[in-house]
Amino acid sequence: MTHAQKVVIVTGASQGIGAGIVKGYRDAGYAVVANSRFIQKSGDPGVIAVPGDIGERTIAEAVVNTAIEHFGRIDTLVNNAGIFIGKPFAAFTTDDYRNVLHVNLDGFFHITQLAIPHMLTWNSGHIVQITTAMVHQPIAGAGASLAALTKGGLDAVTRALAIEYAKDGIRVNAVAPGIIKTPMHAPDTHEFLSSLHPLGRMGEVHEIVDAILYLEKAGFVTGETLHVDGGQHAGRW
């Protein structure tokens, strides 16, 4: 490894979309620092796993320090870690509220604040948030108000940071998925979940990865939320 190789940090990296993002960036030639609570050590020397709760400042510090110690730089940060709890708003507990904010917002805040100074040293960088299509197009009965509260915050801060750091060469974007086919969705739910998209199917992990890698290459795009949601954001259907 040399300091000329680009480096990406990926949170929530152990399975599903996160694991797909790690593979996508490795295939693109990046070194990866991958974090999730229970991530396993990788046999790939280009992937360094840092287990732990990204909502804790000390874990975020360990992730950033690992990137610098092993690879000497941070080019991209993908804020993928997140949790979803679906309930009617009045049914959420204070523990639900704390848990969702801890991962979705605290995790974003700590790792992003710590990564940006290293990007500033190169006058270059890219930060990507994974939000949700329901920020802009709620679905009746989905019980997604805490997702809207937290992922909506990430959607807004994407534009705020894009403007704040544009002159420093740091781009900031987001990808807003629909419902993606991952192990968290049992096969017997797929027909119903497919019906929640105008295109009539669930999304695939590689389609989210493709969107992120497009944004990685799109040097004139910042402050953008790219919807990869089968048309959910376009309106009622």
- 213 found inside a domain: yes
Number of folded domains that form the chain: 1
- 2 found inside a domain: no
What pTM did the predictor assign?
A: 0.94
Rounded to whole angstroms, how far apart are CA atoms 126 and 162? 10
- 1 found inside a domain: no
Q: What is the CATH number of the domain that holds 185?
A: 3.40.50.720
Query: Hey, what are 135's tokens?
Result: 């920020």
| Per-residue pLDDT tens over the stretch 22-53 | 999 999 999 999 999 999 999 999 999 999 99
Find the domain containing 194 and state its range: 7-234
In the chain, the N- to C-terminal Cα span, in Å, equals: 50
- 71 found inside a domain: yes
pLDDT of res. 1: 43
- 54 found inside a domain: yes
